[in-house]
Amino acid sequence: MGVMMPYGAAIREALASNDLTKMEAIAEQAKQTIKQQGDLTAAYLELIEAIAALKTKK
């Protein structure tokens, strides 16, 4: 499994810093991650449903 960057935490840290350069860099990194990973929320929900289905089969 690849390394997943904590973009939520990084985004909040950049917001708190009020540093425009840092904020723009984090925004670009997040944009690239979103582009590469697609809809992470939908994939997560599918994973949770699959886990629940397997647990009910036991």
Write the DSSP string, 21-42. HHHHHHHHHHHHHHHHH--HHH
> pLDDT at position 39, please?
79
Return the pLDDT at 48: 94
pLDDT attached to residue 1: 45
pLDDT on residue 44: 86
Please give the single-letter amino acid code of residue 32: Q
pTM: 0.62
Which pLDDT tens digit goes with each residue over 4-58?
566 788 889 999 999 999 999 988 888 888 888 877 788 889 999 999 999 998 7
pLDDT at 36: 85
